[in-house]
Structure 1
Amino acid sequence: MRIVRLANFVTPHTGGLRTALRNLGEGYQRAGHEAVLVVPGRERSDKMTSQGRVITLPSAPLPRTGGYRVMTGRRDLAKLLDSLEPDRIEVSDRTTLRWTGSWARQRGVGSIMVSHESLAGLLGVWGMPKREQLADKYNLRTSEFFDQIVCTTSFAAAEFRRIGAPNLIEVPLGVDLDAFHPSRADGAVRARYARPDEVLVAFCSRLSGVKKPELAVDALAVLRNDKVPAVLAVAGDGVRRAALAYRAARLPVRFAGHISDRSTMAALLASADVVVAPGPVETFGLAALEALACGTPVVVNESSALPEVVGDAGVAVPGTAEAFAQGVRTLLERPEAERRAAARARAEQFGWQTAVDGFLRAHRALPEVAVAGVPAARQRPAAVLRPAVPRPDQAFTGWFG
């Protein structure tokens, strides 16, 4: 079966989505399917990778978004889809690519939309009034465009459950339990950020408004004022970088920039004492799960999906600096061996193979017996045919199509 995956807002710095796309594509390939990924970029390219064929289409960057690009040429993308002749499409952009659900329905191609964020939550971050009503209206239309809506947590699924979407399924994502492991802890890496008598707190995320990186800095200030010898390592880059550096001017904050190498990231996560994830609209939080896999507990925002991901291996707190500082202290009060063992045990419940199987089940693409000499991986299942939100600011004109 040929599964064509479409994703906007993918850059070399979009860790979570990029990681999920890679691992799912590799899983599809291992299962004997043909995976094709189409993403925006600076220039056109077409190459084979471990996750299958990856096609990059030239796309203009969106202003004030930290380098995000969007494929806006519907005619060209539709022609490409026609030429690829997919059996299924998987769309990881519920705004600018929603129209592809209609393209698939018209051609009898099965389709799923992966909801990677809470629309109501994002509208709230952008200060939109009546955000739940707007989200409900938009989500209802989205559920009608696609055969399946896939959400990775109950948090993400809640807004579709609220409108009674009949085609909703939940499939948790996974974590690479080998690449992210407690054995990745490195004394030299730790020494780069903290002295032996200091507490190393890590924040690993894109530096954008929705991630609330300032909460990590402000929580450090509270800890220092309370005489906790904490330092903060910030792994990530983005539009908030300069403002965050100004905010942290008098604090022991070490900016590591974007870390693309997984082994380097794993070494930082495994060497930290605590990781903080203050984003209020995170719908899964792969960085938090990678921290747990490295044996490092996480303080998360109770407003996000992360409490259901980290479970007892972390602490969920309100989105204030004082609450995050208290969360760090609470985790440090637990014996180190106990808190690290609990973190690793929690992560081991989230393997990528389980996630891949769940997505293939949504695609109706689990291995089947070949018939009439046709390989099962290229049999086309019967498609299930199913019968503008205002822009948040000038940078996002025309998102919702």
Structure 2
Amino acid sequence: MPVPSHPSPTPRTWDVIVVGAGPAGATAARVAAGNGCATLLLERATIPRYKTCGGGLIGASLAALPPGLPLNVLDTAGLFTFALNGRAERTRTSREPTCALVFRSELDAALTEAAAAAGATVRDATALTSLDQEGDTVTVRTNRGDPLRARVVIGADGSAGRVARYVGVRCAQVDLALEVEAPVDARTADRWRGRVLLEWGPLPGSFGWVFPKGDVCTAGVVAARGTPVALRAYKDDFLRRHGLDTATPLHDTGHLTRCRQPDSPLARGRVLVAGDAAALLDHWSREGISYALRSGDLAGRAAARVLAAPDEEAVRAATDHYGRRIDEVLGAEMRASATLMRVFARNPALVHTALTRLPPMWRRLDAYIAGHSGVAEIMTTPLARAAAALGTALPARPAGGPPHG
């Protein structure tokens, strides 16, 4: 899918350079360009490119997409099946089927095209090799040779990217996800159509998922980094039990997901981070697309404010404002999801029981999936507070153990 581009502006220094053309970077570039900034979007891979990701768009993600974005939705989940390491399976029906299932390669390409349409210049197959800043200029070097200069740089090049390391992003939680895109026959596709599976796994904080996408199912498992052998064994067992190990997968990959420390920096001088590069991610579900889209929008706006700043003190005020907005919009969600993750890691059976046997808890989660509430709202309910207190009081139980209650 070709990405339209615009010629370089005559000034040798760009207003904004964005590194990484995922949801955060493409959104930041679109917003910065829409605010009149001469914007360059760099992507190390050739667009479109594959990205390890379940590709589920919850309501918060859909609300953050630019209006009219041509989105190829392969399925919409109206049924949610929960299981406890292959047992106690139960399916809940969504009141408002919202969760759209897409291929990340197609989503990212569409968002990049939207950035180009807003005026950003796009250069793919261009990898960042270094950056440094002096005064009011950031110098970016790539595999293409000549240095590039900008007054603001936004890093959206992933949690292990160079910009995150430059800013000094610190993480509170690091997980390993293993995923396949498995082709399925017509009968299997029909069995999964409109239904996603979330299975709480045998490792602390682990789960497996199946997301249907027509004649392909995206399936995978995730757990804390440090148990790769056990996680691979869980993945093999998970795929076998759900009949997704019979065909050669289109993709069979793994990647690390990271959640930031609450006080982790979001900027260093005129360099900002957003999305995965800022380690903005839900601790429990590891959902990151909605965080990427929303933080990318905030980063694009922050870049425009930095450019309008008359002096370095005003630049610091603009980047501090960006940090406060991230905390207001996403920080409360991450703190709430961290609390939920602590309960889940100790007692997945308790979480499973709450979701499958207590209708009010499912309704809360369903409202979150549809975009009508957040994790913070779920965790402030009396029922959730009681479950959190009970979950920390009870002895830790793996998902393979007997459920409480």
- Give the TM bin, normalised by the shorter chain: 0.3 to 0.5
TM-score, structure 1 length as denominator? 0.34
TM-score, structure 2 length as denominator? 0.34
**When you count strand as a share of all residues, which structure comes out higher?**
2
